[in-house]
Each structure stands twice: as C-alpha cells, then as structure tokens.
Amino acid sequence: MSSVRIDANGRETHQVSVWLPVDVIRLIRADRLNLTRFILEQLELFYGLDAGSGDREHRDRLAAAARAAFEQQRAAEAERDLDHERARAAVRQMRAECEIAKARQQGIADALYQIVGDDPTGRYLRTLPENDMNGDRVDDWDALVRRVCRLCGAEIDSAEVAEGVRALVAKA
C-alpha cells in the first residue's frame, strides 16, 4: 500500500514500506541515520536524478556513514559466526568429555562386576569406607581399588570405586 503527497520541493512522493533485518535497523538507529534521506539520495545517484539539495559534502558524509555502518554490520555478523563456531566447539568438547566419563564409569562397573560378581552386598559392602568405621578393612579396600585399576588399565580413584560399589549395591 502506498500513499501520495507533495514534498517541500513540489514533487509528488509515494510512501512505501521496506523490510530490513533487525540488525540493520539497530545500526541505523545507533548511527542516527535519516533512512528516508539516505534511500532517496542513493536512488537519485543510481538513476542520475537531481537531488535538489546540491549539498555534495552532506552526501559524501552520508555515503561514508553508510559504508561504515555496512562494514560494522559485516563485522558484527563475522563475530556472531565466530561465536557460534566457538559454542559448537565447546558443545563438541563437552560431549566428548561426557562420552569419556561414561566409558570410564562403564569400565569401572564392568571391572567391579568381574571382581564382586552377583553379590555386592557381601564382603565388599563392608569394605566401603563409610561402613568401615574402625579401619579394619582398609587393606581389603586398597586391594579392591588396585584390582579395579589393573582391570581398567588406568589409574582409578578410590572415590570412583566407592561410587561403583554403591551403584552395584543399589542394583542388587
């Protein structure tokens, strides 16, 4: 839809709507650019029409401001793309770390199942540090941790073994 009016120079003008990206609108507002004047002058330059103002300096400043705004927009887009790529890389890294942690936990669980078997509520439940108040079974616990480490082929923390034993007890 358009409406018609006569401007200050006596020319008939039509109002039209233009769809612009939100980022461009923000830049236009931040630079306090008179969008109507800018578009009119650019169209007059493009079609070789006389703008009527004759202010070449003003036009040059406006064109420089437009170029700077477009460069700023391109830089913002490049930064946004870089931020997206950094976020994707961080997510990939987190997923990889999660998979490694899951594999480690599964290895501990498999090793414990080989050692403890189907009855984790027996001797090994009593060797858990929280169940050995007097420290009578510290040697048994240390031996269990060493066996788990040997079966996993990696250095396993005592707390990880305890967590695995608790999980086996919970399943039993």
pLDDT, position 121: 63
Q: Where do runs of H (alpha helix) occur along 19-122?
A: 22-30, 35-47, 56-116
Higher-confidence position of 18 and 124: 18
How many domains is the chain built from?
2
Among residues 29, 57, 83, the one where a domain terminates is 83
CB of 151 closer than 8 Å to CB of 114? yes
What is each CA distance from 62 to 26, 68, 76, 88, in whole angstroms?
Answer: 17, 10, 21, 39
Higher-confidence position of 10 and 49: 10
Distance CA 36, CA 5 (A): 15
What does pTM read for this prediction? 0.49
Domain that holds residue 47: 3-83
Evaluate the CA torsion angle 8, 47, 24, 65 in order and state its sign.
Answer: negative
Among residues 26, 53, 83, the one where a domain terminates is 83
Q: Are residues 69 and 110 in the same domain?
A: no
Query: Does the structure show a pLDDT above 60 at 119?
Result: yes
CB of 51 closer than 8 Å to CB of 44? yes
Higher-confidence position of 110 and 122: 110
Q: Are residues 58 and 108 in the same domain?
A: no
pLDDT, tens digit, 9 for 90 and up, residues 40-93: 878 777 766 665 555 667 667 777 888 888 889 999 999 999 999 999 999 999
pLDDT, position 54: 52
